[in-house]
Amino acid sequence: MGRLDGKVALISGGARGQGATEGRMFVREGAAVVLGDVLDDEGKKVEAEIRANGGKATYVHLDVTRDADWRAAVATAVQAYGKLNVLVNNAGILFRARIEDTSEADWDRIMAVNVKGVFLGTKAAIPAMRQAGGGSIINISSVAGLVGSPQNTAAYSATKGAVRIFTKSTAIQHAKDKIRSNSVHPGPIATDMIKDSLENKAAWEQRLRRLPMGRVGTAEEVAYGVIYLASDESSYMTGSELVIDGGTTAE
Instruction: Give CA–CA dist 37/90, Å, rounded.
Output: 10
Instruction: Give CA–CA dist 185/159, Å, rounded.
Output: 13
Instruction: Give CA–CA dist 151/160, Å, rounded.
Output: 14
Start-to-end C-alpha separation, the chain: 39
Instruction: Give CA–CA dist 33/160, Å, rounded.
Output: 25
Instruction: Give CA–CA dist 38/42, Å, rounded.
Output: 9
Which strand (E) or helix (H) includes residue 137? strand 135-140
Instruction: Give CA–CA dist 43/33, Å, rounded.
Output: 12
35 within 8 A of 46, measured Cβ to Cβ? yes
Query: 1-19 burial string, b = 16+ CB within 10 Å, else e?
Result: eebbeebbbbbbbbbbbbb
**Residue ranges in 29-83 assigned as alpha helix (H):** 40-52, 67-81
Instruction: Give CA–CA dist 241/155, Å, rounded.
Output: 21
Is residue 81 part of the annotated active site? The answer reads no
Of the candidates 59, 81, 156, 228, the residue annotated as catalytic is 156
Q: Which residues are catalytic?
A: 156
